[in-house]
Amino acid sequence: MNDDKLKLTMFQTTSKLTSLSVEDVMGCFHSYFNTERVIDGDALIERFVVQGPVKLLRSGKLGDSLCDWDTTSLPEETNYNEVKHNTGSIHAKVKTYPGDINLSLLYFFKGRTLKISGGLPPIDVIKFYGLKTKNLDVLDLKCDDLSTNDVQEQTKILDTGIECYINSINKVCGCLFDTMPRGSTINMLNAQYDIGHNISSLNTFPAFARDTKLFNKVIEPNAEIFGRKKAVKLYVEHNSGKYYSCAFDEKGKVQIFSCLNYEHVYDMMHKVNNVLEMAKLCGSLTFIERDTYTRPKRKYNKKK
């Protein structure tokens, strides 16, 4: 299971909180961010550190901030009382301690829904906590010659580590909101990795990928769309009727999107590596060694 170059880049979860008013949440935030409360025990995440102002957002318009609040100030010192009837959600940006991982916390008052998104720890940290939760030896993950069953077990360990990370975040959210999130589910897990080579051309690759039947949908590069215009996009349908996908171009950098667990991430990585290797053997594409030459920086002379 070669995941040395893999990085889990982003997750998103949703959960439910008990019904909270604008005053309730602002009071909880002010109390939490102005004290040194931490989670006891051997927690992956001990506390949140707020980054910038907390925003009260207009109902139905997440881009419209009605009030930017510095949490060192008392809520009564803001104009929240004038805008609370038009407020649909409250948004805070935080960093984890330890880890310094950026998170976004978005609470919707009407639906009582908490949406959390942000980064993840390095995959070795996730492995460690997955093993620790399952009471296994860390050395079990260092075997290169793995059977299918071993790969499946390691995938479960990584999913357990991700679950441990999410649970740790939810515990801190329980302190922040003074009520524990319930029914937390992962809506999105993104990743990226580098195949280690450039690719000569992807002109014939989409047709080849379709013929393998490994993917439910293959989208060819399109210079007219926004984003990675030269990227091939590959989609795999999972049981819920939705897709997880990936995109890569001739630079060999693969981005994986919309997975629900690490099993999906590994499945996509495994399929992409297989189809690239098959295409290489069949002559549909060629790998190119990357130029290791680094262009020297230009020197600028200041005008006298």
For residue 140, the 8-state DSSP code is G
- 3-class secondary-structure state, position 118: strand
Contacts of 41 (CB under 8 A, 6+ apart): none
Residue with tokens 């001739």: 250
Indicate the pTM of the whole model. 0.88
78 falls in which pLDDT band (50, 70, 90)? very high
DSSP H helices in 76-186: 80-83, 123-134, 148-177
Which helix (DSSP H) or strand (DSSP E) does residue 32 occupy?
Answer: helix 22-33
Question: What token pair was written down for 240?
Answer: 């819920």
* φ/ψ (deg, to 5) at 149: -60, -40
Contact 244, 268 (CB under 8 A): yes
- The full set of domain ranges for the chain reads 13-184, 195-288
142 falls in which pLDDT band (50, 70, 90)? very low
pLDDT of 138 > 80? The answer is: no
* Pairing label, strands 243-248, 54-58: unpaired
146 falls in which pLDDT band (50, 70, 90)? very low
* φ/ψ (deg, to 5) at 75: -55, -35
The predicted structure's pLDDT at residue 214: 96
**Residue, of 101 and 2, whose pLDDT is higher:** 101
CA distances from 229 to 166, 180, 205, 225 (A): 34, 43, 15, 6
DSSP sequence for 1-31: ---TT-EEEEEEEEEE-----HHHHHHHHHH
Residue 268's Cβ-count burial label (10 Å; 0-12, 13-18, 19+) is buried
Cα distance from N-terminal residue to C-terminal residue, the chain: 59
CATH of domain 195-288: 3.30.310
User: What's the length of the chain?
Assistant: 304
The predicted structure's pLDDT at residue 248: 95
Residue-wise pLDDT tens digits, 187-211? 999 999 999 999 988 989 999 999 9
The predicted structure's pLDDT at residue 137: 54
